[in-house]
Amino acid sequence: MNAHLHTPSLAAMAPFIAPHGPLRVAINLGNPVLAGLDAAGEPSGISADLSRALAAQLGVGIEWRIFKKADDSVQCVRADEADIGFFAIDPVRGEGLHFSPPYVQIEGAYMVRSDSPLQSNGEVDQASHRVTVGAGSAYDLFLSRHLKHARIVRAPSSPAVVEVFMAQQLEVAAGVKQQLQADAQRLPGVRLLPGRFMVIHQAMGMPAQRSAAAREQLNAFVEEAKQSGWVAQAFVRHQIQGAAVAPAGYPTPD
What average pLDDT does this structure show over 215-233? 95
What's the angle, vertex CA 88, arms to CA 86 and CA 90, rounded to 5?
A: 130
Q: Binning pLDDT at 50, 70 and 90, where does residue 8 land?
A: low
Domain boundaries, the chain: 11-104+202-245, 106-198
Q: What pLDDT, in 10s, does the model give residues 123-165? A: 999 999 999 999 988 899 999 999 999 999 999 988 899 999 9
**Nearest Cα residue to 153 out of 137, 164, 166, 163:** 164
Q: What pLDDT, in 10s, does the model give residues 77-99? A: 999 999 999 999 988 888 899 99
How many other CB atoms are there within 10 angstroms of residue 100's CB atom? 25
Give me the architecture of the 11-104+202-245 domain, per CATH: 3-Layer(aba) Sandwich (3.40)
CA torsion through residues 27, 32, 34, 37, sign? positive
Q: How far is CA 221 from its chain centroid?
A: 18
Task: Judge contact between 205 and 140, C-beta under 8 A.
Answer: no
What does the alpha-carbon distance between residue 26 and residue 23 come to, in Å, rounded to a whole number?
Answer: 10
Q: Measure the N-to-C terminal CA separation of the chain; round to a whole number of Å.
A: 35
What average pLDDT does this structure show over 170-199? 93
pLDDT score of 1 more than 50 = no
Q: State the chain's mean pLDDT as an integer.
A: 92
Q: What pLDDT, in 10s, does the model give residues 97-114? A: 999 999 999 999 999 999
What average pLDDT does this structure show over 226-237? 94
The whole-number pLDDT of residue 70 equals 87
What does the alpha-carbon distance between residue 89 and residue 102 come to, in Å, rounded to a whole number?
Answer: 8
Give me the architecture of the 106-198 domain, per CATH: 3-Layer(aba) Sandwich (3.40)
Task: Judge contact between 141 and 118, C-beta under 8 A.
Answer: no
pLDDT score of 2 more than 70 = no
Amino acid identity for residue 142 in this structure = F
The whole-number pLDDT of residue 7 equals 56
The whole-number pLDDT of residue 6 equals 55
**Nearest Cα residue to 100 out of 207, 24, 22:** 207
Q: What pLDDT, in 10s, does the model give residues 43-73? A: 999 999 999 999 999 999 999 999 988 889 9
Same fold? 11-104+202-245, 106-198: yes
Strands 97-113, 84-88: parallel, antiparallel or unpaired by DSSP? unpaired
Q: What pLDDT, in 10s, does the model give residues 200-210? A: 899 999 999 99
The whole-number pLDDT of residue 16 equals 94
